[in-house]
Amino acid sequence: MFNRKYEGCSADLAERIISRSYHIKQKQSLYQNMLSFFSDLSLPKPAFVMPTLFLAGFLISFNIGNITDVTDYIDSMYLSL
Amino acid sequence: MQNVEDTQLLKDINDGSHQAFGTLVKRYSKYFYSIAYRYVADRTTAEDITQQAFLKLWEFPYKYDASRGASFKTWFTQVIINLSIDHKRKNKHFFEDITEMEVAGDNKDAAADIYEKQMKAKLEVAINKLPKSQQTALNLGFYEDIPYEEVAKIMKTTTSAVKSLIMRAKENLKKGLKNV
């Protein structure tokens, strides 16, 4: 009563799957991507020092710019009084 | 490679080993094809589902997380079942079409063949009308003869629940076949 139709798979199913996999590039998880990113980031020390100095320079110069702006603003306030 | 455990093969696949992937595919392709076939009742479709599932495993090997406790076989069976159910949902008129084939022609063999096909298609229709849990328990525990303990793990339930699902599925099938 419960007999069902059944057909076996093609003899070459496994081979077809394997050969197809050669055309597909594996994707990595976010964690694996992060790991590979940081392992690639093994630059010599001077290469770290230079960008750090540049970054620090930018930050300081922007802050100085802001400070002068504020003093200018305060000065103008006094002048208006 | 033939005697290497699944977990080791999966680690190697994660490292990009085609050889490990080949071993895993050769080890399980027939088993998973068979499960897919129980859902879709068509060789080409079941092969496509099996292929699709394995290629996804190759592409995203990190999707299987052994630390969650499920074995590869259990986890991948769930993947195959989900893909099969998804396919059926998209092609639900297939079985109805078969049952409506006419028994025509003078050739008695051909007529008998069509009649047998119709009866089997009716059974498929009746199985398709069962609730999903009963279908899965029946397909795995009864038709694929997978031990109830393993079916329980796949379905994330208890062994006694699997037994009762199969029993109810058979009762419903008997009723359903009378009505189809």
pLDDT band at A69, cuts 50/70/90?
low
Higher pLDDT, residue B139 or A5: B139
**What stretches in chain B show pLDDT beneath 70?**
1-2, 92-108, 179-180
Q: What is residue B96's predicted lDDT score, i.e. its pLDDT? A: 56
Give the residue on A whose Cα is nearest the Cα of B30.
A9
Nearest C-alpha of chain A: how many angstroms from B153? 25
Residue B157 in any domain: the answer is: no
Contacts of B80 (CB under 8 A, 6+ apart): B32, B35, B36, B49, B50, B53
Residue B56 lies in a domain: yes
DSSP per-residue letters across B28-71: HHHHHHHHHHHHH--HHHHHHHHHHHHHHHHH-GGG--GGGS--
Percent of chain A with pLDDT over 90: 23
Contacts of B170 in chain A (CB under 8 A): 2
Quote the pLDDT of residue B107: 64
B59 vs A5, A10, A26: nearest CB: A26
- In one-letter notation, the amino acid at residue A27 is K
Question: Domain for residue B131, yes or no?
Answer: no
Q: Is B172 left (phi over 0), alpha (psi -120 to 50) or beta?
A: alpha
Tell whether B8 is covered by a domain: yes
Residues of A in contact with B80 (CB under 8 A): none
Q: Which residues of A touch B55 (CB under 8 A)?
A: 17, 20-21, 24
Which one-letter amino acid corresponds to residue B14? N
Q: What is the pLDDT of residue A2?
A: 79
The per-residue pLDDT for B116 is 78
Distance CA B132, CA B170 (A): 14
- Chain B, nearest residue to A22 by Cα: B18
Structural domains counted in chain B: 1
Q: What is the pLDDT of residue B159?
A: 96
Chain segment A25-53, per-residue pLDDT in tens? 998 888 878 887 777 776 667 777 888 88
Q: Which of B25, B47, B117 faces A10 most closely, judged by CB atoms?
A: B47
Per the structure, the complete domain to which residue B80 belongs is given by 1-91
- How many Cβ pairs closer than 8 A exist between chain A and B? 80
Nearest CA to B35 out of B129, B168, B155, B136 is that of B136
This complex has an ipTM of 0.81
Position B100 scores a pLDDT of 55
- Which whole-number Å values give the CA distances from B122 to A2, B175, B179, in the listed order? 11, 12, 10
pTM higher than 0.80 for the full model?
A: no
pLDDT in tens, B49-95: 999 999 999 999 999 988 888 899 999 999 999 999 999 888 766 55
Which of the two residues, A6 and A38, has the higher pLDDT score? Answer: A6
CATH number at B41 reads 1.10.1740.10
Query: Using a CB-CB distance cutoff of 8 angstroms, which residues of chain A are in contact with residue B43?
Result: 7-10
